[in-house]
A and B are shown apart, each in its own frame.
Chain A
């Protein structure tokens, strides 16, 4: 691991001023992804700003009947919250299907959103990867990895987001609230927090270096069933081959793009009276990649949409 300066942020303003003064700095919350990548020297920040002690872990009701989840609420805290479990079960299920308890105990809401791809070639410093080393090429195209993008990929990168949680947040129309050193507060849909790779796959989001996530806000849950499904290579503690979140008439797919992928064509087809299978197909007509993966997503989406129509909240 490369040497770095370590700053303990005393409050949000302190954290922001530290970030503004050190362009090569990174905010550190749980550290479960960032420290791992620093050990591999994939991430080499010259300064870590520890925001882990800031008072941003509360989960509170909003005036509009939704829920505001502080950026530092741990994944465990969020998935265990009775309000999340009863009103947003798709979110609790998505979180609980990710990683293992030790990591969820430490991983934060904000950190989960900021985690980087687990593409095997991004994680291997010996291999070309445009996301890790721009211009070096993409080893995943034609490589051995199964988890490559079906949607929104570019000729430079086919990596997918590793966050299960974000898929549920996208289907719930959640928004991310951030603040910058100049005091400006901004809200973005979780759905579009992450950039598609285009010709700059090394840039995951459009957050500025001095922009700190404060909270994620959930609007009231939509009516109808909520369903989470994740397909993976073993029963626990491994990333998704594909996942899906359904909430009412909304559908989001996971592990198929660089961001949680709202299946708008599926949603439109469902609104037009299509069957679950036809609706799944409506999204997949624009998918790239191997037939096997498309088939997996088709069956997964068909099953989950059917399940959601039973009105269950699982």
Chain B
């Protein structure tokens, strides 16, 4: 089915099998292998990408659902050689071991920052009607859709905290 989709600033007009997940489209047809397939059932977050600036699991979406959308993957975050602040923070804090979940973790954290800026609450927000303060409990809750089997959670938390602090 004809689908027009903008990925990392590049327009693509393609014919895709209706069954193709957004994740498979990115990996297999555009050769963007940064987004990872972990569980393929929306349980691990390794496939997290940004669609129109909002983080979603690319495995639980069909490419044909994204006609006209703008997708950003891990490959689209850096500006030339200049890393995105979250990429740099993950390096600085050594926030990974095997690295398989890392692209999803970083895209997820980019989405998290936008959600904080927009004032979205979470399950960890004590007062739903007050300005959200990005505590460690908030970061943990908001990153709960991204699993790390190496269990680099303390470093991931530190990286997100570092990037959020730099942005504030």
A residues contacting B by CB (< 8 A) are 1, 3-6, 8, 28, 31-32, 35-36, 39, 48, 50, 52, 76, 79-80, 82, 85-86, 89, 92-93, 96-97, 99-103, 105-106, 235-237, 314
- Could you mark each residue 65-103 of chain B with 1 if its beta carbon is under 8 Å from any beta carbon of chain A, else 0? 101000000000000000000000000000000000000
Query: Are B123 and A96 in touch, CB under 8 angstroms?
Result: yes
Instruction: Specify which chain A residues have a CB less than 8 angstroms from the CB of B121 in the assembled complex.
Output: 79-80, 85, 92, 96
Look across to chain A and name the residue whose beta carbon is closest to the beta carbon of B104: A102
On whether A97 and B1 interact (CB within 8 A), knowing A1-B19, A237-B144, the answer reads: no
Give the contact stretch, choosing among B25-33, B49-57, B159-167.
Answer: B49-57
Look across to chain B and name the residue whose beta carbon is closest to the beta carbon of A236: B144
On whether A102 and B55 interact (CB within 8 A), knowing A1-B19, A36-B41, A96-B122, the answer reads: yes
Query: Are B19 and A36 in touch, CB under 8 angstroms?
Result: no
Instruction: Specify which chain A residues have a CB less than 8 angstroms from the CB of B56 in the assembled complex.
Output: 102-103, 105-106
Query: Are B62 and A103 in touch, CB under 8 angstroms?
Result: no
Instruction: Specify which chain B residues have a CB less than 8 angstroms from the CB of A4 in the assembled complex.
Output: 18-19
Report the Cα distance A235→B87, complex, angstroms.
Answer: 27
CB within 8 Å: A-B pair count: 101
Task: Give the number of chain B interface residues (Cβ < 8 Å).
Answer: 37
7 A-B pairs in the complex with CB atoms less than 8 angstroms apart: A31-B61, A35-B61, A79-B121, A101-B111, A101-B112, A105-B55, A236-B141
- Could you mark each residue 108-139 of chain B with 1 if its beta carbon is under 8 Å from any beta carbon of chain A, else 0? 10011001001111110100110000000000
Report the Cα distance A36→B21, complex, angstroms.
Answer: 11
Report the Cα distance A236→B1, complex, angstroms.
Answer: 37
Query: Are B67 and A8 in touch, CB under 8 angstroms?
Result: yes
Report the Cα distance A246→B68, complex, angstroms.
Answer: 42
Query: Are A100 and B144 in touch, CB under 8 angstroms?
Result: yes
Instruction: Specify which chain A residues have a CB less than 8 angstroms from the CB of B60 in the assembled complex.
Output: 31-32, 35-36, 103, 106
On whether A103 and B42 interact (CB within 8 A), knowing A35-B62, A79-B121, A92-B128, the answer reads: yes
Report the Cα distance A313→B112, complex, angstroms.
Answer: 26
Look across to chain B and name the residue whose beta carbon is closest to the beta carbon of A313: B128
Look across to chain A and name the residue whose beta carbon is closest to the beta carbon of B144: A236
On whether A106 and B111 interact (CB within 8 A), knowing A85-B129, A89-B128, the answer reads: no
* B45 proximal to A (CB < 8 A): yes
Report the Cα distance A154→B36, complex, angstroms.
Answer: 42
On whether A3 and B18 interact (CB within 8 A), knowing A35-B62, A102-B145, the answer reads: yes
* B64 proximal to A (CB < 8 A): yes
User: Which residues of chain B from 5 to 53 have a CB within 8 Å of any chain A CB?
Assistant: 18-19, 21, 40-42, 45, 48
Look across to chain B and name the residue whose beta carbon is closest to the beta carbon of A79: B121
Instruction: Specify which chain A residues have a CB less than 8 angstroms from the CB of B42 in the assembled complex.
Output: 32, 36, 102-103
Min Cβ gap A219→B in Å is 20
Report the Cα distance A50→B140, complex, angstroms.
Answer: 33
Instruction: Specify which chain A residues have a CB less than 8 angstroms from the CB of B41 in the assembled complex.
Output: 36, 39
Look across to chain B and name the residue whose beta carbon is closest to the beta carbon of A80: B120
On whether A103 and B141 interact (CB within 8 A), knowing A36-B42, A80-B120, the answer reads: no
Give the top 6 A-B pairs by smallest Cβ distance, nearest first: A100-B145, A236-B144, A6-B18, A85-B128, A237-B144, A96-B123
Instruction: Specify which chain B residues have a CB less than 8 angstroms from the CB of A96 in the assembled complex.
Output: 121-123, 125
On whether A3 and B118 interact (CB within 8 A), knowing A36-B42, A105-B54, A105-B56, the answer reads: no
Report the Cα distance A93→B121, complex, angstroms.
Answer: 9
Other A-B pairs beyond A36-B42, A79-B120, A236-B144, 6, CB < 8 Å = A4-B18, A28-B65, A50-B64, A86-B128, A92-B128, A314-B128
Min Cβ gap B114→A in Å is 10
Instruction: Specify which chain A residues have a CB less than 8 angstroms from the CB of B1 in the assembled complex.
Output: 6
Report the Cα distance A1→B140, complex, angstroms.
Answer: 34
Instruction: Specify which chain A residues have a CB less than 8 angstroms from the CB of B57 in the assembled complex.
Output: 32, 102-103, 106
